[in-house]
Every structure is written in structure tokens, then in C-alpha cells.
């Protein structure tokens, strides 16, 4: 399982490194013309990652190219173990870069799964008001 639970972390992630990797990811996605790029801070809320980046691509080839370019950029940034699921032409590609998970969607799939609503600040407010 590429992004499954890893259990309890022994050390917190280096925030400076996370910020640098997030910048590399967002820059790569924007260079590939990704739409609606969103970065979410999951620290303390999820055991599988500290950050999540979500972006939309309009076609299979664009999403596949975004995944390939991200893998190359992450390797250059020192992340040697990058797992990619769904890059063979699907509506959703998942890239597990350790402490950061990237979701690349076609517009319809992004609307269907609504990860921003699940993990965003609006969700926290709704849970607190219950």
C-alpha cells in the first residue's frame, strides 16, 4: 500500500525540509500547467503524511507527465523512494514521497473525492461544532 498507515513516528518531520519539498512540488506542478494546486498541512492530523498537495490535470498525458516530472524533481531534491500509483492512465494518480503525498486528479474525480473538504480547515470547523 503506497500511502497506508506507517504507525507512530519516532521523530517529527523537519519543517524546513517539508517546506522546501512542498515548494519543489508546487513549482513543478505549476510549470506543467496544473490547475487549482492546493497544499494542506496534515501534521498532527494524519499518520501517513505531514503534507498533502492536490492538483488537477485535464488529460491523461498531462497527469502522467506531471507525475514523471515530480518523480524526477523529488529525486533531485534527495527523495530517493517515490511511489506512484495510477500513472498508467487513470483519473487519479497518487504520489507518495514519504512525508508529503501528492494527488493528481482529472476535474471530475477531484470533485467526486473532494479531498480538500475532507482534510481542509472547513472539515475541522465542522467537526468542532458537532
User: Coil, helix or strand for 88?
Assistant: coil
Cα–Cα distance for residue pair 46/34, rounded to 1 Å: 25
Please give the pLDDT value at position 66: 95
Please give the pLDDT value at position 110: 93
Q: The domain 15-128 is classified under which CATH number: 3.40.50.2000, 3.40.1390.10, 3.30.460.10, 3.40.228.10?
A: 3.30.460.10
Q: Which residues of the chain have pLDDT under 50?
A: 1-10, 123-130
Please give the pLDDT value at position 77: 92
- Any idea where the domains of the chain sit in the sequence? 15-128
> Which residue in the block uniquely carries the three cell numbers 519543517?
15
- Cα–Cα distances in angstroms (integers) from residue 65 to residues 7, 11, 15, 86, in the given order: 32, 33, 28, 12
Please give the pLDDT value at position 12: 54
Cα–Cα distance for residue pair 82/107, rounded to 1 Å: 24
pTM for the full predicted model: 0.80
Cα–Cα distance for residue pair 30/37, rounded to 1 Å: 8
Cα–Cα distance for residue pair 61/63, rounded to 1 Å: 6
Angle at CA of residue 68, ends 43 and 108, nearest 5°: 70
Cα–Cα distance for residue pair 101/86, rounded to 1 Å: 14
Amino acid at each position: 500500500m503506497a500511502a497506508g498507515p506507517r504507525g507512530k513516528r519516532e521523530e517529527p518531520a523537519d519543517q524546513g525540509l517539508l517546506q522546501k519539498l512542498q515548494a519543489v512540488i508546487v513549482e513543478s506542478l505549476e510549470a506543467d500547467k496544473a490547475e487549482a494546486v492546493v497544499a494542506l498541512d496534515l501534521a498532527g492530523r494524519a499518520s501517513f503524511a505531514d503534507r498533502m498537495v492536490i492538483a488537477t490535470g485535464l488529460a491523461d498525458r498531462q497527469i502522467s507527465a506531471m507525475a514523471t516530472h515530480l518523480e524526477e524533481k523529488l529525486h533531485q531534491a534527495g527523495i530517493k523512494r517515490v511511489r506512484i500509483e495510477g500513472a498508467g492512465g487513470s483519473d487519479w494518480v497518487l504520489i507518495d514521497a514519504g512525508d508529503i503525498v501528492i494527488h493528481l486528479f482529472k476535474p471530475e474525480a477531484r470533485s467526486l473525492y473532494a479531498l480538500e473538504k475532507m482534510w481542509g480547515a472547513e472539515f475541522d470547523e465542522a467537526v468542532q461544532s458537532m
